Amino acid sequence: MYLNTLLEVRDLRVYFYTYAGVVRAVDGVSFSVRKGEILCIVGETGCGKSVMSRALTRMVKPPGRIVSGEVLFDGIDLLKLPEKELKKIRGREISYVYQDPGSVLDPLYTAGFHVAETVLTHNSSMKFNEVWGKAIRIFREVLIPDPEAKAKSYPHELSGGMKQRVVIATAIANTPKLIIADEPTTALDVTVQAQVMELIRSLKNKYNSSVMLITHNLGVVAEVCDRVIVMYAGKIVEVALVEELFTNPLHPYTQGLLEAVPNPLRKVERLRSIHGSVPNMIDLPEGCRFNPRCPHKLQLCNKEPELVEYSKDHLVSCWLYKR
Amino acid sequence: MIRRALTFIPTIVGVLILTFVISHVIPADPARLWAGGVKARPEIIELMREKYHLNLPIHEQLVLYIRDVFTGNWRESPMTKRPVLVDLAEYFPATAELAIVAGLIQIALGIPLGLLAALKRDTPVDHLIRVLALIGVSAPAFWLAIALQWIFYYSLGLLPATSRGIPPSQTYTGLYIFDSLLTGDWNALVINLRHIALPSLTLAFTGLGIIARVVRNTTLDVLSSEFMDFAEARGLSGAKFYRHVVKNSSIPIVTIAGLEFGMLLSGAIVIETVFSWPGIGLYAVNAINSLDYPAIMGSTLLISLIFIAVNFIVDIAYAIIDPRVRL
Amino acid sequence: MLKKFNRVLLKSNALRSVGSIIYDWRLAFEVIKRSPLTMTGLIIVVGFIVLGAIGPYIAPYNPIEIDFSSIALKRLQPPSLQHPFGTDEYGRDLFSRVLAGARVSLMVSMAVMSIAIPVGLVLGLVAGYYGGVIDEIIMRVTDVFLSFPGLVLAIAFSATLGAGLFSAMLALSIVWWPSYVRVVRAQVLVVREQLFIEAAKAMGVSTRRILFKHILPNSITPLLVLVTLDFGSVILASSALSFIGLGAQPPTPEWGRLVADGRKWFPDKWWYSFFPGLAILITVLGFNILGDGLRDILDPRFRRRLEFREVK
C-alpha cells in the first residue's frame, strides 16, 4: 500500500441474482485511489462502473449483492462496517455526484434545503440557520449566481447545469476526502459540461480531496484525469497514468476505444469502431471477456488473464503482454 | 388561489345546467313528475306547472332555476311538505358525520396497511392486503352492511344495528359525536360511537383497500426513486431520510382523497337505508320510493356541490405539498 | 416452464421496438398462467359469462314462474340438497334465480359498456387529436359529469327516466362515458407526439386514417385494464340501483333486487339475502382480480421487475 493511498479496493465482486441468471456486474476488481488525484473509470455503458462505485459504500440494492471483497478506507474495511457507521461516512468522507441532476433532487424541497440537510446530518450540533448560511456560502463556491435566491428555489425552477451545481454543492458540503462523480456531465448540455468539469477540478484542488470520475467520454478523461482505469464487462483491463494511456495503450480494448474517438494526443487518419458488441452479462465468454471482439486473439485467451504490472504505474490484463 | 376558485365557476354552472336538463328537459312531462308521477292528480299537475313556471320557454326556465338554486328556493318536497333545503339541512349532518368517520377509519387503517404491504413486498402479508383490497372494492356495500348487522347485532349482540343514537344535550354542528365531545356529554358520546360503528366500518371497508394499495405503490415508487438513492448517498438516515418518503408518498394519496370522498358519499346513500341512518341517503331513497322528485334532485345537487367543494380543498392541499403545482 | 417463460420474455423485449403486439399478448398469457390469482380472476370472469349465456337453461327450476299450488309448502325453505340456496317467499328456487340473475347482470354491464366505450373513445380521440376549442368543449362537459359521484348521478337519471332495468342501463351509460374520454384523451396526447404519427402526417395520411389506424390501436392497451375493472363496477352500481328500488323490478331476478327482497325476512331467513350478495361479490371480485393482474402485466416497470426479480 502506498503511503498516499486513500482507498484501496481488493477483489470486489458484485453479482445480480436475477430470474434470467446471475449477472456478474463487478467481478474481482482491485485498485486504489491516491490522495489528491483524479482517477477516471472508463468503459462502455453496462460494464459495471456505476455498480462498482456504489458498492464502495455498500449502496447496492437487491437483486444485487456484494459477494466478496474489501474496501479499505483509512485502513477500515467499509464492507464490514456496521450500517450506522457507514452512514456517517456517506456524504461526509465519501460523497457522490450522480448522473442525472434532474432526478436526484427531491422535487418537494428547495435546492438550499438539500445542502443544508446534508450538512446538518453530519453536524447535528449546528442550528438550522447556521446550516442555511453555510449552504449559501457553498452555493457561492460552486458559482451559483444569486445564491440567496437560488437556495430558495425548487429543483424544477433551475436549469440542468444549475441543478448539477446544487448536487455538487451537496457533495462538497462536508469537505469529503473522496468525491465519486458518476458521469456528472452526461445529462448536461455540451456548453455546460466543460464548466461543470472545471468546477469539479478546482474544488478538488481547493479541498485537496480525491475524485473518482466515472465517464465514457475520453475527451473528459484526457482533460482532467491523472490516472485511468479501463473496465470491460465487470473487470479492469488496464490501469495507467493518463499520458501513458493515450500514448501507449496496451490492451486491445483500450486501443479500440482510442481509435473510436478523435485522440487529442495522437493524430489518427480515420476513426474505427470496435467490432462486435458488449457481451451478454449473463452468458459471458470463456476466459478473457474481450476475446470474441479481439483482433489479436490467441489460443491462450480461453483462459482468464490476470492484471499484471507492465511498467511502473501501468497495469494490463492481457495475454499479449505475458512475460 | 382565487384564480383557481374561479375555474370552478364554469363547473358549478355546468352542474346546474346538467341537473336542470335531468329535471326539466329529459322528462316527457316534467309537471307530472314534479307532482309525483303517474298517480298525480290533474289539478296538482296544473299547480306544479304554474308554481315552477313549466309553461315558459326552456331558456327562461333555466334562468329561473339557477336563480332559485342561489336564492335558496330548492322547491318543496311533497313527501314532507317542507322546503327541500330545510329537509336537507336536517339530514345532511348525519351523512357528513358518517362520511367523515368512515374517511378517518380509512386513513387510520389504510396508511399503516399500505406501509406494511410496501415493507413486506411480495410476501404473504403483501398478497393478503392485496386480496383484502380487492374484496373491499368488490363487495356490494349494502350486502356487507347486512352481513355486519348479522354478525355484530343478531349473532353477537355487541353493537346496535340501526339508527343514529341520541343527540347530546346541546347541538352546535349537528355532528353528534363532535357535539358530544364539545359538551362533554360522555354518555351520549359512547352511545353515538356504538351506533356509528357498523355503518362507518361498512363504508370504510369499501375504500380501505384502495388507500392501502395506493400507499403501498407510491411508497415503493418513492423508495426506488433516484432522489432517495441520492439521499442515502448523502448519508441521510432516520427522520431526515423518511421525511422525503412521507412527503412524496402523500401526493398520490391526497390526489385520490377527493375521488374517495365521492365514493363515500355514493356508498352512504346505499347503506343508510340498511342502517336507518337518518342522512341524505335515507332521505333520497325514501324520496325515490315515494316519487318525491324535488327531494331527489335536491339531494343530487347538494351532494354534487359538496363533492366539488371537497375537490377544491384537495386541489389546494395538493398545491401546498407540491411546489410544481401552481394554484 | 421457466425457460420457456424467459424465452418469451426476452423475445418480447427484443421485438418491443418493432411494436409487436402479438408478443405482448403471448407474454401476457404466460404471466397469467404463472399468477394463480389472475388465473382465478380469469376463470371467474369466463364462468360468469358462460353462466350469463346459458344460466337460465341449466337452472334446475323455473326462476320466474310461481307454482301457486305449492307455495305454502315450499316457501322460505333453508338451503338443502334440493335447493342449495333455499327458496323465496313464493317458493321459487333461489339457486335458479341467482343463476338467471347472471344473465341480467351480464346484459346490463355489456349494454352499458357498449354505449359508454364507443362514446368515450370517439370523444377522447377527437378531443386529444384536434385540441383547441373542440377539446375545451368536450373536456368541460366531461368535467361536469365527473363533478358528481357516479352513482349519485345515475340515481338522478334513473329516477327521472322511471324505475326499470332499461332506464338503469341508460342512466349508467350516461354516467360512465366521461371517464373513458379522460383516459383516451390522455393516451392520445402521448401517442400524438410520437414520431411515427409525425411521419404519417408528413406523408399526407388522412386525419381519419391516422386516428383510427394509428392512434386508436396504440391507445387500446391501457383502456383494456379500465374496461375490465369497470365491468365489475357496473355490475356493482346496477345492483345498488336495484337495491334501492330503481333498476330491475320484480319478478326479474336481479341480484341487488334479491338482496333487497331478502331483507324483509332478515335475519331469520338469512340465505335469501346472503347468496345473491355473494354472487355479486364473487363476480365483481373476478373482474377486479383480472383487471389488477392485467395492469401489472401491461406495466413496463412490472415487466422489468419480473425479469430482474431476485432469486432467493
Q: How far is C293 from chain B (nearest CA, A)?
A: 11
Q: What is the mean pLDDT of residues C278-295?
A: 92
Instruction: For chain B, give the percent of residues with pLDDT over 90.
Output: 31
Residue B138: is its pLDDT beyond 90? yes
pLDDT value for B205: 92
Q: How far is A235 from chain C (nearest CA, A)?
A: 22
Residue A277 in contact with partner chain C when CB distance is under 8 A: no
Residue B100: is its pLDDT beyond 80? yes
CATH of domain B84-326: 1.10.3720.10
> CA–CA separation, A240 vs A249, rounded Å?
9
pLDDT value for B90: 92
> CA–CA separation, C50 vs C106, rounded Å?
10
Residue A92: closest CA among B237, B234, B229, B226: B234
pLDDT single digits (tens) C188-215: 888 777 777 778 877 878 877 777 777 7
Residue A61 in contact with partner chain C when CB distance is under 8 A: no
Residue A180: closest CA among C158, C68, B230, B281: B230
* Helical spans, DSSP H, in chain A: 49-55, 83-89, 101-104, 111-122, 128-141, 147-151, 160-172, 190-207, 218-224, 242-247, 252-260
**Among residues 40-79 of chain A, which lie with CB inside 8 Å of chain B?**
54, 57, 59, 61
| Structure-derived torsion over alpha carbons of residues B74, B76, B77, B78, reported in degrees to the nearest 10 | -150
Residue scoring higher pLDDT (A246 or B105): B105
What residues of chain B lie within 8 A of the CB of C148, using their CB?
15, 18, 300, 303-304, 307
pLDDT single digits (tens) B71-98: 888 888 877 888 999 999 999 999 999 9
Residue B42: is its pLDDT beyond 90? no
pLDDT value for B109: 92
How far CA C248 is from CA of A36, B144, C242, in Å, comes to 82, 20, 5
Q: How far is A98 from chain B (nearest CA, A)?
A: 8
Residue B294: closest CA among B65, B101, B84, B80: B84
* Chain B, chain C: beta-carbon pairs less than 8 Å apart: 138
pLDDT value for A267: 62
Residue B116: is its pLDDT beyond 60? yes
Are the beta carbons of C240 and B142 separated by less than 8 Å?
Answer: yes
What pTM does this model have? Answer: 0.82
B244 near A106, Cβ under 8 Å?
yes
What residues of chain C lie within 8 A of the CB of B141, using their CB?
240
- Binned at pLDDT 50, 70 and 90, residue C311 comes out as very low
What residues of chain A lie within 8 A of the CB of B226, using their CB?
98, 100, 103-104
Residue C306 in contact with partner chain A when CB distance is under 8 A: yes
Are the beta carbons of B240 and A170 separated by less than 8 Å?
Answer: no
**Among residues 85-114 of chain C, which lie with CB inside 8 Å of chain B?**
none
What is the residue extent of each domain of chain B?
2-70, 84-326
Residue C54 in contact with partner chain A when CB distance is under 8 A: no
Nearest residue, CB atoms, B270 vs list C240, C274, C289: C240
Residue from B138, B293, B310 to probe the interface with C (highest C Cβ count within 10 Å): B138
Are the beta carbons of A59 and B233 separated by less than 8 Å?
Answer: yes
Instruction: Sheet containing A76-77: give its strands across.
Output: A21-34, A5-18, A64-73, A76-77
pLDDT value for C259: 93
- Residue found under cell 352500481: C237
pLDDT single digits (tens) B280-303: 999 999 988 888 888 998 999 999
Are the beta carbons of A20 and C309 separated by less than 8 Å?
Answer: no
pLDDT single digits (tens) B204-225: 998 888 899 889 989 998 988 8
Are the beta carbons of C281 and B143 separated by less than 8 Å?
Answer: yes
**Among residues 113-152 of chain A, which lie with CB inside 8 Å of chain B?**
114, 117-118, 120-122
**Among residues 1-60 of chain C, which lie with CB inside 8 Å of chain B?**
37
pLDDT single digits (tens) C136-182: 999 999 999 998 998 999 999 998 888 889 999 999 999 999 989 98
> CA–CA separation, A31 vs A41, rounded Å?
11
Residue B128 in contact with partner chain C when CB distance is under 8 A: no
B109 near B101, Cβ under 8 Å?
no
> CA–CA separation, C271 vs C78, rounded Å?
7
Residue from B228, B234, B242, B253 to probe the interface with A (highest A Cβ count within 10 Å): B234
Q: What average pLDDT does chain C have? A: 82
pLDDT value for C20: 47
Are the beta carbons of B227 and A122 separated by less than 8 Å?
Answer: no
Q: Which three cell numbers mark B176?
A: 353528534
Q: What is the mean pLDDT of residues B96-111?
A: 92
SS3 C93: strand
Residue from C6, C8, C303, C309 to probe the interface with A (highest A Cβ count within 10 Å): C309
Residue C186: is its pLDDT beyond 80? yes
How far CA C268 is from CA of A201, C73, C263, C273, in Å, comes to 84, 18, 10, 11
Q: How far is B266 from chain C (nearest CA, A)?
A: 6
Q: How far is C294 from chain B (nearest CA, A)?
A: 14
Residue B142: is its pLDDT beyond 90? yes
Residue C278: is its pLDDT beyond 60? yes
CA atoms lying within 13 Å on the CB side of residue A16: 22
Q: Crossing angle, helix C21-34 and helix C2-16, to 10 degrees?
A: 150
Are the beta carbons of B266 and C150 separated by less than 8 Å?
Answer: yes
pLDDT string in tens for chain A (323-residue length): 455 888 889 899 998 887 777 888 888 888 889 888 899 998 887 788 888 888 888 888 878 888 888 888 888 888 888 888 888 888 888 999 888 888 899 999 999 999 999 999 888 888 888 889 989 988 888 888 888 888 899 999 998 888 988 998 898 888 888 999 888 888 777 788 888 888 888 888 888 889 999 988 888 888 888 899 998 888 888 998 988 888 888 888 888 888 877 766 666 666 777 777 777 777 777 778 887 788 887 777 878 888 888 888 888 888 887 75
Report ipTM (2 d.p.). 0.89
Neighbouring chains to C with at least 3 Cβ pairs closer than 8 Å: A, B
pLDDT value for C305: 55
What residues of chain C lie within 8 A of the CB of B137, using their CB?
284, 288
Q: How far is B18 from chain C (nearest CA, A)?
A: 8
C118 near C126, Cβ under 8 Å?
no
C289 near C37, Cβ under 8 Å?
yes
pLDDT value for C114: 94
What residues of chain A lie within 8 A of the CB of B233, using their CB?
54, 57, 59, 90-91, 95-96, 98
- Binned at pLDDT 50, 70 and 90, residue C28 comes out as low
**Among residues 50-79 of chain B, which lie with CB inside 8 Å of chain C?**
none
Residue A17 in contact with partner chain C when CB distance is under 8 A: yes
Are the beta carbons of B18 and C145 separated by less than 8 Å?
Answer: yes
Are the beta carbons of A108 and B236 separated by less than 8 Å?
Answer: no
pLDDT value for C7: 45
> CA–CA separation, B151 vs A286, rounded Å?
68
What residues of chain B lie within 8 A of the CB of C288, using their CB?
134, 137-138
Residue A19 in contact with partner chain C when CB distance is under 8 A: yes
Residue B263 in contact with partner chain C when CB distance is under 8 A: yes
Are the beta carbons of B131 and C277 separated by less than 8 Å?
Answer: no
What residues of chain C lie within 8 A of the CB of A19, using their CB?
2, 6, 306-309, 311
Q: What is the mean pLDDT of residues C279-300?
A: 87
**Which chain A residue lies closest to B229 (C-alpha atoms)?**
A104
Residue C310: is its pLDDT beyond 50? no
Nearest residue, CB atoms, A63 vs list C2, C9, C308: C308
pLDDT value for C300: 63
Residue A18 in contact with partner chain C when CB distance is under 8 A: yes
Are the beta carbons of A20 and C10 separated by less than 8 Å?
Answer: yes
